[in-house]
Every structure is written in C-alpha cells, then in structure tokens.
Amino acid sequence: MGALGNLCVVLAIIIFIFAVMGKELFRENYNNYWGGVDNLPRWNFKNFLHAFMIVFRVLCGEWIESMWDCLVASGYICIPFFLLTMIIGNLVVSTDCIYRTIGKDDGSALTVCVFPGEYNNYVVRGGRVVRGWTL
C-alpha cells in the first residue's frame, strides 16, 4: 500500500472520528427535541451509520439541511462541528486529488529535488504550468 492508500486510510479515520463525535455530541439532543425515534428527521445522529452518512454528505458538499436540523435540535455547537468536518475532510480529499494528478504512488511526487540538478515529475509539470500561463 503506497502513499495514496495511506491517504485513503487517513480519510477513513477522519470520517470515523467525526461520525463518533457527532453521534456522542448530538444524539440525545435529537431525541429530546423531536420526541423520540419515530419523529427524527431523515438525516440524524441517532446511531453510527446515520452519523457516518451525515459526515460523508458533508464531505460531498450537501451539509445545509443536516446542519439546520442540528442547529434546531442542539444549538450553535453544531456550527464548529460542521465547519471542522468540512474543512479537515476536504483538505484530505483535495490532497488526495492533487496527489493523484501530479505523481505516481511511490511517494516521489512529494519531493521537489532528489539530488542537485535532478528533478522529478512535480518540478517538470510545474514548469509546464508556468510556461503555459506566460503564453
């Protein structure tokens, strides 16, 4: 498993941490506000699976409805939770996407210069981008 696999494992761990944190922070507030399991909204923190789906949904960019329901049930503590979930998760996802576009899976794309005068794909592609912008 190369660096890309490690990055995917880090993303899975981050999703797991935020799902458990959301479930523990907001589960009781959801049950108290909506009066039980039968009246809960579609996206809720009643168990780990639903919390996992909300975190995944936040990473996909659909977080407004979930955050609004959380605000109604739990108050303003939801805002930092959803913002941190979105920022940290999207940083890992964007790092993954950037890594896939600039290099191989052996970690060589993350080093700029291996030896003096020897450049890897990152430097060569960066030079092409700079030349493309100056045209």
27-71 pLDDT, tens per residue?
888 878 877 667 778 888 888 999 999 999 998 888 888 899 889
pLDDT, the chain, mean: 78
6 versus 96: the higher-pLDDT residue is: 6
What average pLDDT does this structure show over 87-92?
A: 86
Predicted local distance difference test score (pLDDT) of residue 101? 67
Q: Which residues make beta-bridge pairs with 119?
A: 113
Q: Kindly state the percentage of the chain with pLDDT values over 70.
A: 67
Domains of the chain: 3-102 (1.10.287), 105-135 (no CATH)
Q: What is d(CA 134, CA 86) in angstroms, rounded to the nearest whole number?
A: 35
CB atoms within 10 A of CB 42: 9
Q: Closest by alpha carbon to 32, among 68, 75, 83? A: 75
Q: Closest by alpha carbon to 14, among 46, 43, 52, 49? A: 52
For residue 23, give the H/E element and its range.
Answer: helix 3-34
Long-range pairs for 17-21: beta carbons < 8 A, 24 or more residues apart: 18/55, 18/81, 18/84, 18/85, 18/88, 18/89, 19/48, 19/51, 19/52, 19/54, 19/55, 20/48, 20/51, 21/81
Q: What is d(CA 130, CA 72) in angstroms, rounded to the nearest whole number?
A: 49
pLDDT above 80 (res 12):
yes
What average pLDDT does this structure show over 4-24?
A: 88
User: What is the value of pTM for the model shown?
Assistant: 0.69
Q: For 115, list phi and psi in degrees, rounded to 5.
A: -130, 155
Predicted local distance difference test score (pLDDT) of residue 114? 47
Predicted local distance difference test score (pLDDT) of residue 123? 60
